[in-house]
Structure 1
Amino acid sequence: EIWSWFESHKRTLPWRDLPDTDLTGRAYKTLVSEIMLQQTQVPRVIITFKNFLERFPTLRDLAGASNKEVLMAWRGMGYNSRALRLRDAARKVVGISSGSLTRLLVNSYAETRVNELTNQRVMFPTSMDDLTSIPGIGPYTAAAIRNFAFGLPTPCIDTNIRRILHRTFVGPENPDGTWEKDDQYLLEIASEVVEEALRQKGKRSNRSKQGKRGSSVSSFPSFTLFASEWHAALMDFGSLVQTKRNPKWDICPLTREGIMKTTRKNYELRITNYGKKARTQSLKKREPGRAVGSVFIPNRIFRGRVIEALRDAPKGLTLHDIGAQIAIDWDSDEHHDWLSGILAQLVKETMLGCRKGRYVLG
């Protein structure tokens, strides 16, 4: 059902369907897109992704970039520490030889891909162990690189995949938005699902290639995107149909065919009090920040404003200048220590430098 849905609803995104002639380039662009997508919506990432790659077209270009250059290119994305982690990951990758290929799934498709990649010069780690040894690359990002860049079937869990698997095989989320089963449980399901999905895709592909005399094609093509396409299909399905709130039950093929355990009825019963409980939890877990008038603003917002202000100040700004730009209620006496703490942390994280009382990027 997912394959059929994906054929007519696939999203066109700049980090998909990349040329297969340069696997190192595919891996680099996949890494960039995954880091950008961690905490930023797709429409904004599309714009920044294009501009970022124009500025740093290759892995080595990014690895050689300064903090300031990377932060300037990250403009408009927020969560600026991601930019430095991405650059640091690029530097680490440049220093690593091609990793060993882990046979995560034992099937003809995986074996074919392993053999192909072994014969190519891929200047990028390919095993889960090598990938996750790089700071900033966790299990999901590592699996995404294997799937999208190298076509190596690797089960993974992101927010969309978690939602689809849990709603299909377990049931709806809890009223507070948490899940009954953890990611390790869902990862085992994902492993079985991806293997079955690729088996079905292989059958569909072979049927389409049958000759006039009906002889089937038994081997996979030298380079296919089955693993990449499957995970893209899940992500699109979670983004467009089985959404976090207000799932589109009327057009969901899994609901129509009775495959999904979650239904409109049990979902709506389960999440009736979601909004109230979510608001209560958010107050209990409020992050550091301060009130500006009647509105509470987290420090992470002010951190982003600091970086943004300094992007337009090549000669740097004083603490007072920064405060006046980022806070409409700025008071030098009342807010000095608060802003000084934020700036000191940004300097510690090497996003800022301080020279003669003036703060600059990098």
Structure 2
Amino acid sequence: RLIDWFQKEQRILPWRENQDPYRVWVSEIMLQQTRVDTVIPYFNNFLTKFPTLEALADADEQEVLKAWEGLGYYSRARNLQNAVREVVEEYGGVVPNDPDEVGKLKGVGPYTKGAILSIAYDTPEPAVDGNVMRVLSRILHVEEDIAKQSTRKLFEELVRELISIEDPSSFNQGLMELGALICTPKTPSCMLCPIQEQCRAFEEGIETELPIKSSKKKQ
């Protein structure tokens, strides 16, 4: 149901035009801490300037930072270019499809790794971010604190059990899209939700109480 819903209702976004791992990778790095609407023009401009891995690897760093200007968190751009250079040098310009190899690339954390592998390569790898943890906290009625690293690991294991082997790309993107459009933080649109019948939080009337998130204490 989630996959059917995603395929019908997904937003038309430029990085969804194909499964090119480079495009998926650039979009996921840009989308860290930045809203989708903000990213779209930057993504289009960046891909026009650096249409391939090789183009980005060969580019002058200042040129790359200029194209990133306004998105902030410039270390993302530097890490991306360094990692792309590594792919060109070590992997012949092809983004690796092995979880360990992708996970070692600079700036690629567990979520970005899962997104690249599932969306570009149809590998059933979890891609768990705040959206996904919120959605699954509600569907499965999980009361673990999502601010804790151990909870992310728990959700990664849950996704491994649930993920579609036939279409992991649509499954992961469906969870993300559900969190962005329907299962929103404050006022989820439960009546429009394709998996409302499976949702334990909705059944118990506690959807707005989940997920549990402690505020991070100052060190």
Same fold (TM over 0.5): yes
Q: Trace 1:108-257 onto structure 2 (pairs within 5 A).
A: 123-171=94-142, 178=147, 182-194=151-163, 197-198=164-165, 226-255=167-196, 257=197
Distance in 2 (alpha carbons) for counterparts of 1:47 and 1:147 = 24
Query: Contact (CA 8 Å) 2:144, 2:151: kept in 1 or not?
Result: no
Q: Which has the higher contact order (CA 8 A, sep 6+)?
A: 2
Report the CA distance between 1:95 and its aligned residue: 1.3
Q: 1:307 — aligned with what? A: none
User: Secondary structure of the equivalent of 1:15?
Assistant: helix
Return the TM-score normalized by structure 2: 0.87
In the TM superposition, what whole-angstrom CA distance separates every residue of 1:132-154 from its partner, at most 9, and x where no partner exists? Answer: 11111122211211111122221
- Highest CA radius of gyration, 1 or 2? 1
Bigger strand share: 1
Report the CA distance between 1:178 and its aligned residue: 4.3
Query: Contact (CA 8 Å) 1:96, 1:125: kept in 2 or not?
Result: no
Identity of aligned residues (%): 37
Report the CA distance between 1:7 and its aligned residue: 3.4
Q: Trace 1:36-75 onto structure 2 (pairs within 5 A).
A: 36-75=30-69
Distance in 1 (alpha carbons) for counterparts of 2:82 and 2:155 = 31
User: Secondary structure of the equivalent of 1:93?
Assistant: helix
Structure 2: gaps spanning 5 or more residues: none
Answer yes or no: is 1:3 the counterpart of 2:3: yes
User: Secondary structure of the equivalent of 1:168?
Assistant: helix
Bigger CA drift: 230-239 or 180-189?
A: 180-189
Query: Contact (CA 8 Å) 1:60, 1:94: kept in 2 or not?
Result: yes
Which amino acid letter does the alignment assign opposite residue 186 of structure 2? Answer: R
Structure 1: gaps spanning 5 or more residues: 21-25, 99-121, 203-225, 287-362
Query: Contact (CA 8 Å) 2:21, 2:120: kept in 1 or not?
Result: yes
Report the CA distance between 1:190 and its aligned residue: 0.4
Q: How many pairs were matched up?
A: 217
Structure 1 runs of 4+ off > 4 angstroms?
177-181
Report the CA distance between 1:181 and its aligned residue: 6.9
User: Secondary structure of the equivalent of 1:28?
Assistant: helix
Query: Contact (CA 8 Å) 2:83, 2:107: kept in 1 or not?
Result: yes
Distance in 2 (alpha carbons) for counterparts of 1:44 and 1:53 = 15
Return the TM-score normalized by structure 1: 0.55
Q: CA RMSD in A?
A: 2.6
In the TM superposition, what whole-angstrom CA distance separates every residue of 1:2-36 from its partner, at most 9, and x where no partner exists? Answer: 12322331111111131x6xxxxx11111101100
Q: 1:223 — aligned with what? A: none
Distance in 1 (alpha carbons) for counterparts of 2:144 and 2:181 = 18
Query: Contact (CA 8 Å) 1:172, 1:266: kept in 2 or not?
Result: no
User: Secondary structure of the equivalent of 2:137?
Assistant: helix
Query: Contact (CA 8 Å) 2:117, 2:125: kept in 1 or not?
Result: yes
Report the CA distance between 1:173 and its aligned residue: 7.1
Find the partner of 1:82 among 59, 62, 76: 76
Distance in 2 (alpha carbons) for counterparts of 1:39 and 1:82 = 11
